[in-house]
Amino acid sequence: MKVLNVHFFQHVPFEDPGCIPDWALQNRHDLKITKWYEDPMLPDVDAIDWLIVMGGPMSVHDEEKYGWLRAEKSLIREAIDAGKTVIGICFGAQLVAQALGANVYPNPQKEIGWFNVSMTERGAENPLLDGFDSEFRVFHWHGDIFDLPDEAVHLLQSQGCRHQAFLYGNHVLALQFHFEVTDRSLQAMVEHGKEKLVEDRYVQSQEVIMEGRSWIRENNNRMFSILSRMQEVGLFI
């Protein structure tokens, strides 16, 4: 099997790639990471096979506040145009959606905690989600939402946020939620975002969030399944 050059874009120390490096290392892929908060050197897109764009508390519209954001957006668009496998998670999903021409804007309500997502009709037909339950619980931490890009396949939705996941072509995936979260990264996100855990319809308390750790393993397995299926597709592109 081909060794992939898997490159991560990380935006803050407390939202790391979670379980994804475990999958990559199990499959003997090479890993590199750009930590935008450390003023890094820009990667060469030609040297990347997969680009995985992680989450963060910022908005896609915060270019004045985060001087590196314009460069990151350009690299994401370049990777998509070059046919690389691109996966966006939470804020990363919003960046991917915007790179594909979709609007990103505040959702009517924040969604923070363990809430169900359900398959759309097209999601239930898509082999990427083959074997998944039609509805399952995942971890969310977002306040923005994206419109679906033209020609994207809407995969998952929730009561609090209609657009939870989409697939564009066979090489670009956006996930609004966090399949990748681990016990350690969950704790870090909660510690750095306590002030956002205010009582609301789709915002859970710190205690309830931490009680949801029993769902982590199942969600990590789903993340591994999706990564493996995207790798299989990539072998035939």
d(CA 77, CA 60): 14
Task: Identify whether the C-beta of residue 178 lies closer than 8 Å to the C-beta of residue 18.
Answer: yes
Predicted pLDDT of residue 236? 42
Q: Residue 224, Cα to own-chain centre: how many angstroms?
A: 13
Tell me the CATH number at 89.
3.40.50.880
pLDDT per residue as tens, the chain (237 positions): 689 999 999 999 999 999 999 999 999 999 999 999 998 889 999 999 999 999 999 999 999 999 999 999 999 999 999 999 999 999 999 999 999 999 999 999 999 999 999 999 999 999 999 999 999 999 999 999 999 999 999 999 999 999 999 999 989 999 999 999 999 999 999 999 999 999 899 999 999 999 999 999 999 999 999 999 999 876 444
d(CA 98, CA 53): 13
Distances (CA, A) of 184 to 18, 163, 210, 236: 8, 27, 11, 36
Predicted pLDDT of residue 151? 96
Distances (CA, A) of 173 to 39, 125, 154: 26, 16, 10
Number of structural domains the chain divides into: 1
d(CA 87, CA 51): 6
**Domain extent for 195:** 5-234
Predicted pLDDT of residue 103? 98
Helix axes 69-81, 91-99, angle to 10 degrees: 60
What six digits make up the tokens of 113?
Answer: 């905690």
Predicted pLDDT of residue 233? 75
Task: Identify whether the C-beta of residue 155 lies closer than 8 Å to the C-beta of residue 119.
Answer: yes
Predicted pLDDT of residue 41? 86
